């Protein structure tokens, strides 16, 4: 497992979340002069996007995120996005939040599978951040937050070897391996089967720096080529014109990670058979005794950030990711209970912190790497600050 995977996972899933929310907010918004008090306007949409992005790229949170560490559990990560999605006046009920998270995870899983090279995962991340900057181009302060994260990405990942990026890719695939949720866009485009598994293409551009397959070269012990043999391939491969830019600005070339919702079309999600079976057996799995502590800490980390609260008696606007309220209600009733994660309230008492410290102290902790020395103390100190 790579200790450098978490920032890429968080930022790419966050980018997909913002794509979906922006599309749904645009679809449900009403022109300002015609909107009732309880209806969305474009001003509300911009406010929601600004609040979520500002929270997502908070400096303290980014500092913790970029420290070398293992991936969070699926439940803990889901809790982070639950907090992010509700960092403004927008409100999602459990069924819509489930659907949002399903769409996010399956989209990024597909992008990781299709990356020509492991290093191209960084280009996918840059595509997400480029699009996020377009959402908040009118807000210089938030734009500066995103640019700062951009620079952290370049500084942290530009020096990594191809082998380290391969380990990052494998860590991501292990994280996604049991997720087989059918998404209507992927099914219609025939890139996903009815069982929720993706169909990988056998044609298209080869990875940058490699040659089109079809030729075998044979060398002698002196390294001199002595024979060539050609063979036919099932796919139609081409050589890429240029490599994508790994700088703050530039042409990424790779289109993975761009906004697939820019052309509006309905998106549905359905649990595949294997995922349903996994959910049915979830109660038989031994719970992690530290899971609640992990959830509490992450919820506190985000919950303690400066989040824009509705002013006065203003109530939060509700966003529905389904076509109708009836569909949303039906999804909430039929969703397996084991797959619904709720945010845990924080008990910010001295006794609670002492209990967490005691549990952490009883854990068998591996020797920290040089970059992560003192991480435990930093996390506890951050909890006190927040």
Q: Summarize pLDDT for 84-99 with one digit per residue, the tens.
A: 888 888 888 888 898 9
65: nearest Cα among 1, 188, 160, 153 = 153
Averaged confidence pLDDT in the chain: 77
Alpha helices by DSSP H, listed for the chain, are 6-28, 42-56, 59-65, 74-85, 94-114, 121-135, 140-157, 162-176, 184-188, 273-280, 291-303, 325-334, 350-362, 375-385
In the numeric block, which tokens belong to residue 159? 């020096």
Report the pLDDT averaged over residues 189-198.
92
| Phi and psi at residue 133, to the nearest 5° | -65, -35
CA 261 – CA 107 distance, rounded (Å): 11
Contact 288, 363 (CB under 8 A): no
Residues linked to residue 82 through DSSP beta bridges, in sequence order? none
In the numeric block, which tokens belong to residue 12? 């790419």
CA 60 – CA 382 distance, rounded (Å): 9
pLDDT digits 0-9 by tens, 261-282: 876 555 566 655 545 444 444 3
**DSSP 8-state symbol, 118:** G
This prediction has a pTM of 0.73
DSSP β-ladder status, 237-238 and 204-205: parallel
What's the pLDDT at 114? 94
DSSP β-ladder status, 225-230 and 215-219: antiparallel
* 12-26, 39-53, 170-184, 371-385: segment of lowest average pLDDT: 371-385
**Element containing residue 218 per DSSP (H, E):** strand 215-219
pLDDT digits 0-9 by tens, 325-353: 566 566 555 665 554 444 333 333 445 44
119 three-class SS:
helix
């Amino acid at each position: 497992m790579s200790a450098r995977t978490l920032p890429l996972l968080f930022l790419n899933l966050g980018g997909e979340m913002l794509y979906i929310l922006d599309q749904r907010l645009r679809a449900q918004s009403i022109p300002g002069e015609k909107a009732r008090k309880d209806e969305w306007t474009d001003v509300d949409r911009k406010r929601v996007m600004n609040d979520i992005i500002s929270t997502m790229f908070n400096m303290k949170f980014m500092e913790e995120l970029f420290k070398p560490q293992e991936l969070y559990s699926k439940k803990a990560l889901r809790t982070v996005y639950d907090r992010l999605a509700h960092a403004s006046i927008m409100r999602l009920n459990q069924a819509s939040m489930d659907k949002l998270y399903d769409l996010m995870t399956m989209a990024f899983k597909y992008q990781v599978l299709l990356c020509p090279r492991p290093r191209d995962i960084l280009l996918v991340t840059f595509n997400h951040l480029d699009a996020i900057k377009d959402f908040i181009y009118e807000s210089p302060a938030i734009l500066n937050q995103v640019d700062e994260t951009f620079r952290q990405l370049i500084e942290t990942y530009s020096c990594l070897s191809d082998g380290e990026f391969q380990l990052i890719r494998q860590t991501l695939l292990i994280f996604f391996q049991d997720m087989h949720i059918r998404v209507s866009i992927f099914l219609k485009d025939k890139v996903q089967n009815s069982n929720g598994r993706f169909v990988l293409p056998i044609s298209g551009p080869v990875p940058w720096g490699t040659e089109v397959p079809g030729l075998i070269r044979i060398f002698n012990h002196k390294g001199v080529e002595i024979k060539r043999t050609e063979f036919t391939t099932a796919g139609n491969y081409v050589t890429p014109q240029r490599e994508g830019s790994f700088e703050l600005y530039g042409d990424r070339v790779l289109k993975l990670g761009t906004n697939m919702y820019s052309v509006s079309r309905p998106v549905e999600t359905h649990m595949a058979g294997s995922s349903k079976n996994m959910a049915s057996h979830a109660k038989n799995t031994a719970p992690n005794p530290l899971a609640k502590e992990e959830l509490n800490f992450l919820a506190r980390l985000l919950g303690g950030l400066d989040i824009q609260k509705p002013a006065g008696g203003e109530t939060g606007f509700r966003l529905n990711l389904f076509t109708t309220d009836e569909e949303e209600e039906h999804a909430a009733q039929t969703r397996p209970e084991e797959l619904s994660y709720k945010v845990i309230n924080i008990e910010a008492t001295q006794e609670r912190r002492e209990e967490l410290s005691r549990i952490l102290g009883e854990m068998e902790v591996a020797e920290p790497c040089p970059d992560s020395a003192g991480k435990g103390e930093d996390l506890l100190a951050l909890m006190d600050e927040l």
